[in-house]
């Protein structure tokens, strides 16, 4: 579906998601003091290496960001646990739920567009969606949609 772009629905560059704040709060990551995410080579968008196993080369460039490790304010490295609850990045409609190799991927369509009219979608990988998270459902920013599948 192509929605005409008006000035109203062009993304405001200052519109920042509260995703991290929701993730930290819902999962009580602040109990140790949350300092920063840790991204090893292979965890960032377009990375070509793997960060697991023998740390070889990916078959295709990485198409996401792996939020997995963080540092607490005491300087200790920690990892997100299985069952960590995942909030929505922005309000949006669930448009697809498909299997991935560690769980399910949830595809969300947002009413946010760039200057060229491209619609923003976010995809949450390796999830166990909550039972109420179904195709066509509109979910608000910060609402919990899933837990992390087996890590
Ligand atoms: Zn990844």
Distance 4 CA to ligand 1 centre (A): 32
Q: Is the pLDDT of residue 36 over 70?
A: yes
Q: Are residues 66 and 111 in the same domain?
A: no
**27 and 76, same structural domain?**
yes
Q: How confident is the model at residue 53 (pLDDT cuts 50, 70, 90)?
A: confident
Is 12 a member of any domain? no
pLDDT value, residue 135: 98
Residues 92 and 69 reside in one and the same domain? no
How much distance in Å is there from the Cα of 21 to the middle of ligand 1?
21
Rounded to an integer, what distance in angstroms lies between the CA atom of residue 78 and that of residue 68?
9
How many whole angstroms from 35 Cα to the centroid of ligand 1? 21
54: confidence class by pLDDT, cuts 50, 70, 90 = confident
The beta-strand segments (E) located in 44-137 are 69-72, 77-79, 85-87, 92-100, 103-113, 119-129
How many structural domains is the chain composed of? 2
93 shares a domain with 65? no
Whether 34 is covered by a domain: the verdict is yes
Ligand 1: centre distance to CA 122 (Å): 13
Higher-confidence residue of 68 and 51: namely: 68
Buried/exposed code over 113-139 (b: 16+ C-beta within 10 A; e: otherwise): beeeeebeebebbbbbbbeebeeeeeb
Indicate if 104 and 71 belong to the same structural domain.
Answer: no
CA of 5 to the centre of ligand 1 (A): 31
Q: Which of 14-18, 111-115, 116-120, 131-135 has the lowest mean pLDDT?
A: 14-18
Residue 111 pLDDT exceeds 70: yes
Same domain flag for 75 and 87 = no
Same domain, 129 and 69: no
Q: Which one of 80, 98, 132 terminates a domain?
A: 80
Tell whether 64 and 90 lie within a shared domain.
no
Question: Could you tell me if residue 7 is inside a domain?
Answer: no
Final residue belonging to a domain, choices 45, 80, 115: 80
Tens of pLDDT, residue by residue over 79-103, are 998 899 999 999 999 999 999 988 9
Stretch among 2-16, 62-76, 118-132 having the lowest mean pLDDT: 2-16
Cα 69 to middle of ligand 1, angstroms? 12
Q: Does 120 lie in the same domain as 150?
A: yes
Q: Domain residues for 43? A: 17-80
Q: What's the pLDDT score for residue 132?
A: 95
Question: Mean pLDDT over all residues of the chain?
Answer: 89
**C-alpha 34 to ligand 1 mean position (Å):** 22
Residues with CB under 5 A from ligand 1 (ion): 64, 66
């Amino acid at each position: 579906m192509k929605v005409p772009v008006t000035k109203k629905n062009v993304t405001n560059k200052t519109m920042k998601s509260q995703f991290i704040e929701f993730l930290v709060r819902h999962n009580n990551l602040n109990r140790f003091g949350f300092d920063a995410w840790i991204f090893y080579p292979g965890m960032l968008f377009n990375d070509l290496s793997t960060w697991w196993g023998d740390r070889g080369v990916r078959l295709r460039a990485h198409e996401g960001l792996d939020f997995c490790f963080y540092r607490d304010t005491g300087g200790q490295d920690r990892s997100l646990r299985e069952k960590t609850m995942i909030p929505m990045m922005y309000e949006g409609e669930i448009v697809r739920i498909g299997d991935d190799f560690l769980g399910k991927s949830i595809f969300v369509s947002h009413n946010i567009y760039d200057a060229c009219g491209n619609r923003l979608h976010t995809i949450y990988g390796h999830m166990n969606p909550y039972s109420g998270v179904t195709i066509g459902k509109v979910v608000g920013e910060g609402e919990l949609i899933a837990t992390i599948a087996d890590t």
